[in-house]
Copies of this chain bind each other. A is one copy, B any other.
Amino acid sequence: MLYLIGLGLGDATDITVKGLRALRNCSRVYLEAYTSMLTVGKEALEEYYGKELILADRDLVEQEADEILKDANETDVAFLVVGDPFGATTHSDLVLRAVHAGISYQVIHNASIMNAIGCCGLQLYNFGETVSVVFWTDTWRPESFYDKICKNRSAGLHTLCLLDLKVKEQSVENMMRGKKIYEPPRFMSVSQAADQLVQIVERRREQGEELGVTEDTVCVGVARLGADDQKICTATLAQLVSCDLGAPLHSLIVPGKLHPLEVDMLRLHAQPDALRYLAMVDSS
| Cα A119 to Cα B114 with chains together (Å) | 13
* Interchain CB contact under 8 A, B129 and A127: yes
Instruction: Give the segment of A8-16, A133-141, A178-186, A207-215 that binds chain B.
Output: A8-16
Segment at the B interface, from A29-37, A50-58, A105-113? A105-113
Q: List chain B residues, Cβ under 8 A from A9.
A: 109
User: Hey, which bits of chain A sit against chain B, CB under 8 A?
Assistant: 6, 8-11, 13-18, 20-21, 83-87, 89, 92-93, 95-96, 99, 107, 109-112, 114-116, 118-119, 121, 123-132, 151, 155, 157, 162, 225-226, 261-262, 264-265, 268
Main secondary structure of the interface of A (DSSP, over half): mixed
A124 & B114 in contact (Cβ 8 Å cutoff): yes
Closest B residue, CB atoms, query A20: B17
Q: Which 10 A-B pairs have the closest CB atoms?
A: A86-B118, A109-B111, A125-B130, A115-B115, A13-B18, A114-B115, A109-B116, A13-B17, A112-B115, A107-B119
